[in-house]
Structure 1
């Protein structure tokens, strides 16, 4: 996969202030406030920054965490995982493999078949619910 690299100025021109904060500065949206927290539409969730497919609605579930949660990405190579030791915690950060946008974190307390909970910021995603 070819990496998409843009300057900070290019990302700022492409994203809203809140999207830039979450996607490029590793921020987070407040729990239960995200556009896709309670979304039930069928479709693909793509990266807000580059449009790469990340998650399918079939893997989305209500974790009760306040963020959209998925038990697996669309493909293992769609996302990257980095160790995150910020805020006095050790977590596994999830990023878009194509553009390195911060998506959220993955935890080992999800449902089967994977046992994983990809806890993702709505601001990092865009739902493609087209039926083409």
Structure 2
């Protein structure tokens, strides 16, 4: 079931037994980050170890939102899974790259690419920082 806050909407789509795509729309900030964390953790309790965040509809991310990405990354890794982000708008790609988060978190141009990388067994370790795709190029 989608969660809605003043400026954030999330929808979870399960694409496999252990994989879910979380479509994020709006702002990820101090007030809305808990909604994203809760929705992602709910997907994990439903069996999804691998999460793909579809960020195509994200307008703004503050430091709390960036911190949330790291929290979710660690949560998925602790569960033996992975976190990937896809469809990151250009203005956010720069932020993710400048803060060093792209070194930890695979960034893909599309959800399909992120899912294909999972299917290929690519765990997206730091050595493959951009998950094979650098959307800033």
TM-score for the superposition, normalised by structure 1: 0.27
The structure having more radius of gyration, on CA atoms, is 1
- Which structure has more helix as a fraction of its residues? 2
